[in-house]
Amino acid sequence: MDLERNAMDMGNMPALLLVDMINGFTNSACSLGSDCPDVVAANAVLLSEFRRLGLPIFYTTVVFHNDDQAKVFRGRIDALNQLTPDSNWVKVDPKLAMQEGEVLIEKQWASSFHQTDLHEQLQACEVDSLVVTGLTTSGCVRATVVDGLQYDYRVFVPREAVGDRNQDAHQANLFDMHAKYADVISLDEAIKHIRRSQGK
Protein backbone atom coordinates (compact mmCIF):
# COMPACT_ATOMS: atom_id res chain seq x y z
CA MET A 1 0.00 0.00 0.00
CA ASP A 2 1.33 3.46 -0.92
CA LEU A 3 2.05 5.95 1.83
CA GLU A 4 -0.06 9.08 1.97
CA ARG A 5 2.06 12.15 1.32
CA ASN A 6 1.63 15.89 0.97
CA ALA A 7 2.93 17.81 -2.02
CA MET A 8 5.18 20.73 -1.10
CA ASP A 9 5.30 24.29 -2.31
CA MET A 10 8.72 25.55 -3.30
CA GLY A 11 10.26 27.98 -0.85
CA ASN A 12 11.23 31.59 -1.41
CA MET A 13 14.82 30.81 -2.40
CA PRO A 14 15.19 27.64 -4.46
CA ALA A 15 18.64 26.55 -5.60
CA LEU A 16 19.48 24.37 -8.57
CA LEU A 17 21.85 21.51 -7.74
CA LEU A 18 23.31 19.69 -10.74
CA VAL A 19 24.69 16.42 -9.40
CA ASP A 20 27.72 15.12 -11.32
CA MET A 21 26.79 16.45 -14.74
CA ILE A 22 30.42 15.87 -15.68
CA ASN A 23 32.08 14.35 -18.73
CA GLY A 24 32.73 11.07 -16.96
CA PHE A 25 29.00 10.50 -16.55
CA THR A 26 27.53 12.16 -19.67
CA ASN A 27 29.91 10.47 -22.12
CA SER A 28 29.77 6.72 -22.79
CA ALA A 29 33.46 6.77 -23.74
CA CYS A 30 34.05 6.71 -19.97
CA SER A 31 33.23 3.39 -18.32
CA LEU A 32 31.22 5.30 -15.69
CA GLY A 33 29.14 7.17 -18.25
CA SER A 34 26.25 6.88 -20.65
CA ASP A 35 25.08 9.06 -23.51
CA CYS A 36 22.14 11.05 -22.16
CA PRO A 37 21.51 14.07 -24.43
CA ASP A 38 17.91 14.47 -23.22
CA VAL A 39 19.04 14.75 -19.60
CA VAL A 40 21.71 17.28 -20.57
CA ALA A 41 19.13 19.29 -22.53
CA ALA A 42 16.70 19.34 -19.59
CA ASN A 43 19.47 20.58 -17.31
CA ALA A 44 20.26 23.34 -19.82
CA VAL A 45 16.62 24.48 -19.67
CA LEU A 46 16.73 24.67 -15.88
CA LEU A 47 20.05 26.49 -15.91
CA SER A 48 18.61 29.10 -18.24
CA GLU A 49 15.60 29.65 -15.97
CA PHE A 50 17.62 29.90 -12.75
CA ARG A 51 20.04 32.30 -14.40
CA ARG A 52 17.22 34.44 -15.75
CA LEU A 53 15.76 34.74 -12.25
CA GLY A 54 19.12 35.27 -10.54
CA LEU A 55 18.74 32.20 -8.31
CA PRO A 56 21.61 30.18 -6.79
CA ILE A 57 23.20 27.43 -8.89
CA PHE A 58 25.47 24.69 -7.57
CA TYR A 59 27.26 21.89 -9.40
CA THR A 60 29.01 18.83 -8.05
CA THR A 61 31.85 16.72 -9.37
CA VAL A 62 33.63 13.66 -8.03
CA VAL A 63 37.39 14.04 -7.60
CA PHE A 64 39.82 11.79 -5.75
CA HIS A 65 43.02 13.57 -4.73
CA ASN A 66 44.76 10.70 -2.95
CA ASP A 67 44.47 6.97 -2.25
CA ASP A 68 43.01 7.53 1.21
CA GLN A 69 39.78 9.13 -0.03
CA ALA A 70 36.71 6.85 -0.18
CA LYS A 71 38.83 3.70 -0.12
CA VAL A 72 35.92 1.28 0.30
CA PHE A 73 33.80 2.96 -2.39
CA ARG A 74 36.69 2.90 -4.85
CA GLY A 75 37.54 -0.65 -3.87
CA ARG A 76 34.06 -1.70 -4.95
CA ILE A 77 34.13 0.19 -8.26
CA ASP A 78 37.54 0.34 -9.92
CA ALA A 79 36.26 2.74 -12.59
CA LEU A 80 36.05 5.50 -9.98
CA ASN A 81 39.82 5.68 -9.96
CA GLN A 82 39.64 7.52 -13.29
CA LEU A 83 38.25 10.57 -11.48
CA THR A 84 41.50 12.35 -10.69
CA PRO A 85 42.11 16.12 -10.65
CA ASP A 86 43.96 16.07 -13.98
CA SER A 87 41.28 14.05 -15.78
CA ASN A 88 38.85 15.50 -18.30
CA TRP A 89 36.20 13.19 -16.83
CA VAL A 90 35.81 15.35 -13.70
CA LYS A 91 35.00 18.52 -15.66
CA VAL A 92 31.46 19.81 -16.08
CA ASP A 93 29.91 18.84 -19.42
CA PRO A 94 30.66 21.77 -21.76
CA LYS A 95 26.99 21.98 -22.77
CA LEU A 96 26.31 22.99 -19.15
CA ALA A 97 29.38 25.18 -18.63
CA MET A 98 29.48 27.14 -15.41
CA GLN A 99 29.16 30.91 -15.34
CA GLU A 100 30.58 33.45 -12.94
CA GLY A 101 29.08 33.23 -9.47
CA GLU A 102 28.06 29.59 -9.79
CA VAL A 103 29.59 27.12 -7.34
CA LEU A 104 31.33 23.79 -7.92
CA ILE A 105 31.36 21.35 -4.98
CA GLU A 106 33.96 18.57 -5.03
CA LYS A 107 32.85 15.35 -3.39
CA GLN A 108 34.18 11.83 -2.92
CA TRP A 109 31.03 9.94 -1.94
CA ALA A 110 27.52 9.60 -3.31
CA SER A 111 25.80 12.40 -1.42
CA SER A 112 26.59 15.98 -2.36
CA PHE A 113 26.36 16.82 1.36
CA HIS A 114 28.68 14.16 2.80
CA GLN A 115 31.95 15.74 3.99
CA THR A 116 31.41 18.88 1.87
CA ASP A 117 30.39 22.42 2.77
CA LEU A 118 27.31 22.37 0.54
CA HIS A 119 24.85 22.90 3.40
CA GLU A 120 26.83 25.87 4.73
CA GLN A 121 27.00 27.44 1.27
CA LEU A 122 23.27 26.92 0.74
CA GLN A 123 22.55 28.54 4.10
CA ALA A 124 24.75 31.51 3.21
CA CYS A 125 22.47 32.04 0.19
CA GLU A 126 19.35 31.62 2.37
CA VAL A 127 18.24 28.65 0.28
CA ASP A 128 15.12 26.89 1.54
CA SER A 129 14.41 24.44 -1.30
CA LEU A 130 16.40 22.42 -3.81
CA VAL A 131 15.81 21.40 -7.39
CA VAL A 132 18.05 18.35 -7.72
CA THR A 133 19.09 17.07 -11.13
CA GLY A 134 21.86 14.94 -12.57
CA LEU A 135 23.35 11.48 -12.62
CA THR A 136 22.67 8.87 -11.55
CA THR A 137 19.12 8.59 -10.26
CA SER A 138 19.79 5.46 -8.22
CA GLY A 139 23.14 6.65 -6.89
CA CYS A 140 24.35 10.18 -6.26
CA VAL A 141 21.00 11.84 -7.05
CA ARG A 142 19.10 9.69 -4.60
CA ALA A 143 21.76 10.05 -1.89
CA THR A 144 21.69 13.83 -2.31
CA VAL A 145 17.89 13.95 -2.25
CA VAL A 146 17.72 11.94 0.98
CA ASP A 147 20.34 14.13 2.65
CA GLY A 148 18.63 17.26 1.34
CA LEU A 149 15.45 16.24 3.14
CA GLN A 150 17.48 15.41 6.26
CA TYR A 151 18.83 18.98 6.23
CA ASP A 152 15.20 20.19 6.06
CA TYR A 153 15.20 21.42 2.46
CA ARG A 154 12.11 21.00 0.34
CA VAL A 155 13.42 18.85 -2.51
CA PHE A 156 12.12 18.69 -6.08
CA VAL A 157 13.34 16.31 -8.79
CA PRO A 158 12.40 17.09 -12.41
CA ARG A 159 12.21 13.60 -13.89
CA GLU A 160 13.51 14.61 -17.33
CA ALA A 161 16.63 16.13 -15.76
CA VAL A 162 17.90 12.95 -14.05
CA GLY A 163 19.15 9.73 -15.59
CA ASP A 164 20.64 6.33 -14.92
CA ARG A 165 22.50 3.62 -16.81
CA ASN A 166 19.77 1.19 -15.72
CA GLN A 167 16.18 2.16 -16.58
CA ASP A 168 14.65 -0.23 -14.03
CA ALA A 169 16.74 1.36 -11.28
CA HIS A 170 15.87 4.83 -12.63
CA GLN A 171 12.13 4.23 -12.46
CA ALA A 172 12.22 2.43 -9.10
CA ASN A 173 14.20 5.23 -7.48
CA LEU A 174 11.98 7.96 -8.91
CA PHE A 175 9.01 6.11 -7.42
CA ASP A 176 10.70 5.69 -4.04
CA MET A 177 11.99 9.28 -3.84
CA HIS A 178 8.53 10.62 -4.65
CA ALA A 179 6.94 8.39 -2.02
CA LYS A 180 9.22 9.51 0.81
CA TYR A 181 11.78 12.21 0.19
CA ALA A 182 10.95 14.62 -2.63
CA ASP A 183 8.39 15.83 -5.14
CA VAL A 184 9.23 14.14 -8.43
CA ILE A 185 7.65 16.35 -11.07
CA SER A 186 7.89 17.12 -14.75
CA LEU A 187 10.28 19.70 -16.14
CA ASP A 188 7.34 21.95 -17.03
CA GLU A 189 5.97 21.67 -13.49
CA ALA A 190 9.38 22.52 -12.08
CA ILE A 191 9.58 25.69 -14.19
CA LYS A 192 6.12 26.73 -12.98
CA HIS A 193 7.11 26.11 -9.33
CA ILE A 194 10.30 28.14 -9.75
CA ARG A 195 8.50 31.08 -11.34
CA ARG A 196 5.73 30.97 -8.73
CA SER A 197 8.32 31.05 -5.93
CA GLN A 198 9.57 34.35 -7.35
CA GLY A 199 6.13 35.80 -8.06
CA LYS A 200 6.71 35.56 -11.81
Element of type H or E holding 60: strand 57-62
Q: Which of 30, 36, 125, 140 is catalytic?
A: 140
| Active-site residue, 140 included | yes
Which pLDDT value is given to residue 1? 61
Which pLDDT value is given to residue 200? 83
pLDDT tens digits for the chain (200 residues)? 677 888 788 999 999 999 999 999 999 999 999 999 999 999 999 999 999 999 999 999 999 999 999 999 999 999 999 999 999 999 999 999 999 999 999 999 999 999 999 999 999 999 999 999 999 999 999 999 999 999 999 999 999 999 999 999 999 999 999 999 999 999 999 999 999 999 98
Distance between CA 181 and CA 156 in Å, rounded?
A: 9
Show me where the domains of the chain are located.
14-197
Candidates 160, 157, 158; CA nearest to 143 is 157
Alpha helix positions (H), the chain: 23-26, 37-53, 71-76, 118-124, 142-150, 167-180, 187-197
Which pLDDT value is given to residue 165? 93
Cα first-last separation, the chain:
38
Which pLDDT value is given to residue 9? 86
Q: List CB contacts of 9: < 8 A, sequence separation 6 or more.
A: 154, 193, 196, 197
Distance between CA 109 and CA 144 in Å, rounded?
A: 10
Which pLDDT value is given to residue 182? 97
Give the homologous superfamily in CATH for domain 14-197: Isochorismatase-like (3.40.50.850)
DSSP string, 62-89: E---STTTTHHHHHH-GGGGG--TT-GG
